[in-house]
Structure 1
């Protein structure tokens, strides 16, 4: 990754309808960046963010066991529940308001499925799809020990502010945020009532994603569900909810992938 080059200021709005799409009988996935067989050399990431997948998985289905290496993977659920199981022995049900991070490190196997009733009698079988965003960020060191962490932040989200969800930055040390293995990156989330505003941080690279609802971005206008904005060398803009149920996910990044 690079921390030395000063990028030129830019605000780049990316609309939901322009994302790459993978659709099969059990999955409807929309990719903000190149992913799988979708490849565009001009769209391989922003800052340190390599993947921002907006996924809907039908009940009883999901991603079978597969490997990852040297990647920080954060999952954020908007609706339904997602079962995580991995080769380090961790398993759990991820639901709205529960943040989850998996560090792939030297190598990890995991699965993600919409089948909570199969691991616990506490969950009844259902016909509700799970809707979630999965985000991949490069670690600042390779070959680390694989790990898993989750954190309930629903109460903090009720306040309507930007809440640190996952961070490796020194300024969040000791805060109620999951630690990721990159000291140059942090993820925030906010649930905004109509008319509620938050101010984005300032950083060399920001990525704003609207997984639910609609908002107004100062200097860029209306953003709908699935829209994203890539900020370069600019920040401090206000984001205001224009409807019910708005959520935003914001990556603050002080480094970038090597070009």
Structure 2
């Protein structure tokens, strides 16, 4: 796969890397701890990048989008909702010291990296790449007439300089039969994919009027990103693309006002 991307697109990629490296240490938390704090992040308040071949919404500061009030949430550094046009993609580029997670919503994403992995990520599949000491990789949508819609998530590791690693798994069966599916964990147990951080990621699909009590626990924080649908979280109404952060809240009571899908994070 020989991807040719104009220099300005390379600058976009390098800008993202520079931002990530610069923020790894000393970044200011998104939310200061106050008892029972819920903070809503509306979809249209996110950063927007339109490169023609790539349309991206940035939850946190990324590349040319900079907002000092939205740098990260604990170790959760990036949530980008990306749409890649057919026949386009990211040419080979470098990452270091970051846990990079991709979750495909629609279409397919071709992946190739310097560890020798060549894969296609399909809807319902989660991919994790531990960049560690350094990884080269590319991502591409080779279907000419269909966009690839996916979320790319970066989580800062709790240890730098680890050996690079890769994991990929389909959770589609579980997502169609369970309200809440645990997909990312610190230890990789019970069918999850492990990362180098004390953080967990879940995916939930709820039918209209279904409810879910998500146990956050003590000394943990939650970030919930709405992928599809319309939900209420502890009385806060959230539409597609919206998100909510919870600090010092032990349980998130979730109700789906229509068929909905969410990505949830439990964080230190």
TM-score scaled to structure 2, two decimals? Answer: 0.84
Q: Deviations over 1:48-86 (max 9, x none)?
A: 100000011110101111110000011111111111111
Aligned pairs for 1:68-107 within 5 A? 68-107=95-134
Which position in structure 2 is the counterpart of 1:211?
227
Provide the secondary structure at the position in 2 that maps to 1:252.
strand
Q: Deviations over 1:63-118 (max 9, x none)?
A: 11111000001111111111111111101111111111000000001111111xxx
Is the 8 Å Cα contact of residues 157 and 190 (structure 1) preserved in structure 2?
yes
C-alpha distance in 2 between matches for 1:150 and 1:215: 28
Query: Which structure carries more relative contact order (alpha carbon 8 Å, separation 6+)?
Result: 1
C-alpha distance in 1 between matches for 2:229 and 2:66: 28
Residue 159 (1) aligns with residue 177 (2):
yes
The counterpart of 2:199, out of the listed 164, 185, 194, is: 185
Is the 8 Å Cα contact of residues 86 and 108 (structure 1) preserved in structure 2?
yes
The counterpart of 2:81, out of the listed 44, 48, 54, is: 54
Residue 168 (1) aligns with residue 203 (2):
no
Which position in structure 1 is the counterpart of 2:249?
234
C-alpha distance in 2 between matches for 1:217 and 1:230: 10
Is the 8 Å Cα contact of residues 34 and 44 (structure 1) preserved in structure 2?
yes
C-alpha distance in 1 between matches for 2:39 and 2:255: 18
Q: How many residues align?
A: 236
C-alpha distance in 2 between matches for 1:196 and 1:93: 32
C-alpha distance in 1 between matches for 2:101 and 2:38: 24
The counterpart of 1:139, out of the listed 157, 161, 174, is: 157
Provide the secondary structure at the position in 2 that maps to 1:33.
coil
C-alpha distance in 1 between matches for 2:213 and 2:136: 38
Unaligned stretches of 5+ residues in structure 2? 1-24, 27-31
Is the 8 Å Cα contact of residues 219 and 237 (structure 1) preserved in structure 2?
no
User: Could you tell me how far 1:218 is from its partner in structure 2?
Assistant: 2.1
TM-score scaled to structure 1, two decimals? Answer: 0.87
C-alpha distance in 2 between matches for 1:208 and 1:37: 24
User: Could you tell me how far 1:199 is from its partner in structure 2?
Assistant: 1.7
Unaligned stretches of 5+ residues in structure 1? 116-124, 255-259
C-alpha distance in 2 between matches for 1:42 and 1:35: 13
Is the 8 Å Cα contact of residues 202 and 236 (structure 1) preserved in structure 2?
yes
Which position in structure 2 is the counterpart of 1:108?
135
Question: Hey, which bits of structure 1, 4+ residues long, moved more than 4 A?
Answer: none
User: Could you tell me how far 1:126 is from its partner in structure 2?
Assistant: 4.6
Provide the secondary structure at the position in 2 that maps to 1:200.
strand
Which position in structure 2 is the counterpart of 1:35?
62
Q: Deviations over 1:187-214 (max 9, x none)?
A: 0001111112222221431110011122
